[in-house]
Structure 1
Amino acid sequence: MRKIFLACPYGHADKTVVEQRFEISNAVAAAIARSGSVVFSQVSMSHPINKHLSDLDKAGIGNLWAPIDQVFMDAMDELIVIDEVGWKESAGVAREIEFFKIRNRRVSLWSEVTSEFSA
């Protein structure tokens, strides 16, 4: 059974973009789960909680989630990055890619592996 940490760019000045990224993360996580793989979608988990952290700025939210993400990344065997607009500029995605690459764990882009999770 594959154990996948799902990464997606998240933060954006436009709240509509943030909501779209949340929905995309949920849809991709559902496809991965449906395939029989274990998936942890960081954006799916953190987005509803972030709504209760309005006192934190972008850096504060990142600092809060980094050690939590680390626990889940340690438990996963591979990383799949949802390669939507902004993924290359995302500091969080970059941190997650580095974590998996340093440990010689598989890193893939969703656009490259989508067919592996088709029903």
Structure 2
Amino acid sequence: MRKIFLACPYGHADKAVVERRFDISNAVAARIVRNGAAVFSQVSMSHPINGQLAGLDKAAIGSLWAPVDALFMAAMDELIVIDEPGWKESAGVAREIDFFKERGRRVSLWSEVESDFPA
């Protein structure tokens, strides 16, 4: 069974963009699961919880999630990055790519592997 860590750019000044990224993450994770792979979607998990972290700035929220992300990344065999606009600029996505590459694990863009997971 493929064990996939799903990454997507998340933070944005426009809340509608953040919600769109959450929705896209959920849709992609559902396709992956439907096709028999295990997936951990960081955005799917963290977005609802972030709504309960009022009063914390972006940096504080990021520092809370970094060790959690590391735990799940260590358990997964590969990384798929949802290559929506902003993924190249995302510090979080860059950190996740580096983690997997440093360990010699597969890193793919969703646009490259989407056909592996029929709708």
**TM-score tier after normalising by the smaller chain length:** over 0.9
Pairing 1:1-119 to 2, within 5 Å after superposition: 1-119=1-119
Q: Deviations over 1:57-108 (max 9, x none)?
A: 1111110100000000000000000000000000000000000000000000
Q: Which runs of 5+ in 1 are unaligned?
A: none
Give the CA deviation at 1:54. 1.5
Show structure 1 runs of 4+ deviating over 6 A. none
Query: Distance in 2 between the 1:93 and 1:57 partners?
Result: 19
List per-residue Cα deviations over 1:21-55 (Å, max 9, x = no partner). 00000000000000000000000000000000021
TM-score (norm 1): 0.99
Q: How many percent of aligned residue pairs carry the same amino acid?
A: 79
TM-score by length of 2: 0.99
C-alpha distance in 1, partners of 2:115/2:29?
14
Unmatched 5+ residue regions in structure 2? none
Q: Number of paired residues?
A: 119
